[in-house]
A and B are shown apart, each in its own frame.
Chain A
Amino acid sequence: MATAVMNLVEHLPTDKSLVERCLAGEDLAWDELVRTHTKRVYGMCYRFTNNATEAQDLTQEVFLRIFKSVKSFRADEGNFTTWMARLTRNLLIDHYRRTRQDRSTDSIEGQLPMLEEKMTSSARPDGLVAGREAREQLQAGLQKLSPELRETLILRDLEELEYREIADVLKIPEGTVKSRLNRARAELARAVRKEQLGQGISKIRTAGGALQS
């Protein structure tokens, strides 16, 4: 929460001047804009798609669109982060609709990075392992949510936007944002619990199988 406020305070004035400098044709301003916002855009894409390759392609696409349409952004109408989040969100939803058919046949490619992470994580300190495990659980849980709930949760709890800003991005009332958020959190917790239960059962089964043989 505190970090969200800090982020906003930190970003508002610099974003405005950055965008203005970009429009003036300054190369360095564009560099800075990309460097500042890549983490947020990539974060949103990765959380939403749970696929590193797709997330990279989408992030590149987002910045291409920002570059082309930054002229249409007016600093007095809203803040840049909201504008960018809306652009990213629209692209993600388009992508979701486009790939709905492919997703029913779940490809192994997207899961490869996660498998690799699992293999390397054993050598890391405990705190990092716990963080990574939590992230994997979170990612798996997020994929169980509907896109509406998923995007709301990502914008609020992971990208730490204000309710007002999320309402602006998704073009829905603030009350709807909050009720969606409640449902999203509850469904996430249930999905993660279910997953853990499933893993526990399979572990017990393999242990039982080992004992029998």
Chain B
Amino acid sequence: MTCNDFDSLLCDFLDGKLAGERRLVMESHLAHCFVCSELTRDSREALALMDRSSDVEVPPELVTKILQQIPESGWLARLSQGFFAPVLRPLFQPRVVMGAMLTVLSLSMMTRCAGVPKRALTAADLDPVRVVGALDDKVHRGWERSVKTYESMKLVYEVQSRVNDWKEKQREEDEESKKLPKVQPVSEEKSLNEGKVK
């Protein structure tokens, strides 16, 4: 066996893959050749060091970084990166979505106010004549109702103030009737005093 042969078999020898006669030949070469025995010793030392050495620790944030750098492959993402990107990107901003929702809300309030029914709409429901008619009707009814309320409020206040007046009168009369008997004794005393002085 030459040193070249030894070199080409050394890996398998160290892996423990050589058996029988081939292994014996290797070992006998090792015993004679200083260069090859040194090579084997160094290789074993290096393998032992690598065995002892702990694994490389992957930084925990690395996977997240990798996943973040690559865009999602969903249809929305694909659409927003393609040809429509300049149009679609501003549309996905929160304030645009918020504005759109508020518009829908105010529209629904207006239609409710205009008396458009909630059921599935037909073209007839949105007929301007109908809408204006319904609005006019609403305004008239509202006006009548407020006038009625005002009138009845007026009556209620009138009755209330009348009752209050009566109550006031009653109280005044009561007080006067209480005052009268009190006044008389005072005049008697006065007359008595006058008599004493005399």
A interface residues with partner B (beta carbon < 8 Å):
1, 25, 27, 30-31, 34-35, 38-39, 42-43, 46-47, 52, 56, 59-60, 63-64, 67, 128, 130-132, 134-135, 137-138, 141, 157-158, 163, 175, 178-179, 181-182, 184-186, 188-190, 192-193
Q: In the complex, are the beta carbons of B43 and A189 less than 8 A apart?
A: yes
Q: In the complex, are the beta carbons of A47 and B56 less than 8 A apart?
A: yes
**B65 partner, pick from A60, A130, A190, beta carbons under 8 A:** A60
The reply on B53 being an interface residue by CB < 8 A is: yes
* Complex: chain B residue closest to A139, CB-CB: B53
Which residues of the partner chain B approach A188 to less than 8 Å between Cβ atoms?
46, 49
Q: In the complex, are the beta carbons of B67 and A178 less than 8 A apart?
A: no
Give how many B residues have a beta carbon under 8 Å from the other chain's beta carbons: 34
Which residues of the partner chain B approach A30 to less than 8 Å between Cβ atoms?
67, 70, 73
Interface of A is mostly: helix
Which residues of the partner chain B approach A185 to less than 8 Å between Cβ atoms?
42-43, 46-47
* Complex: chain B residue closest to A47, CB-CB: B56
Closest beta carbon of chain B to A15's beta carbon, Å: 17
Which residues of the partner chain B approach A60 to less than 8 Å between Cβ atoms?
62, 65-66, 69
The reply on B158 being an interface residue by CB < 8 A is: no
* Complex: chain B residue closest to A175, CB-CB: B8
Q: In the complex, are the beta carbons of B66 and A179 less than 8 A apart?
A: no
The reply on B10 being an interface residue by CB < 8 A is: yes
Interface string of B1-19 (1 = CB under 8 A from A): 0000001101110011000
Q: Given A34-B66, A56-B59, A128-B54, does the pair A182, B49 have CB atoms closer than 8 Å?
A: no
Most chain A beta carbons < 10 A, residue from B12, B55, B70, B72: B70
* Complex: chain B residue closest to A131, CB-CB: B54
* Complex: chain B residue closest to A57, CB-CB: B65
A136 CA to B54 CA, complexed, in Å: 9
**A25 partner, pick from B7, B8, B16, B73, beta carbons under 8 A:** B73
Closest beta carbon of chain B to A7's beta carbon, Å: 14
* Complex: chain A residue closest to B75, CB-CB: A25
A38 CA to B59 CA, complexed, in Å: 10
Closest beta carbon of chain B to A53's beta carbon, Å: 10
Q: In the complex, are the beta carbons of A135 and B65 less than 8 A apart?
A: no
Which residues of the partner chain A approach B47 to less than 8 Å between Cβ atoms?
157, 185
Closest beta carbon of chain B to A71's beta carbon, Å: 12
Closest beta carbon of chain A to B135's beta carbon, Å: 52
Q: In the complex, are the beta carbons of B58 and A39 less than 8 A apart?
A: yes
**B53 partner, pick from A63, A135, A178, A189, beta carbons under 8 A:** A135
Q: Name 20 interchain pairs, CB-CB below 8 A, sorted by A.
A: A25-B73, A27-B72, A30-B70, A34-B67, A38-B62, A38-B63, A43-B55, A56-B65, A63-B66, A64-B70, A134-B53, A138-B50, A157-B47, A175-B8, A178-B7, A178-B11, A179-B7, A182-B11, A189-B43, A192-B46
Q: In the complex, are the beta carbons of A59 and B54 less than 8 A apart?
A: no
The reply on B74 being an interface residue by CB < 8 A is: yes
Closest beta carbon of chain A to B76's beta carbon, Å: 12
The 5 nearest A-B residue pairs measured at CB? A131-B54, A189-B42, A134-B53, A185-B46, A134-B52
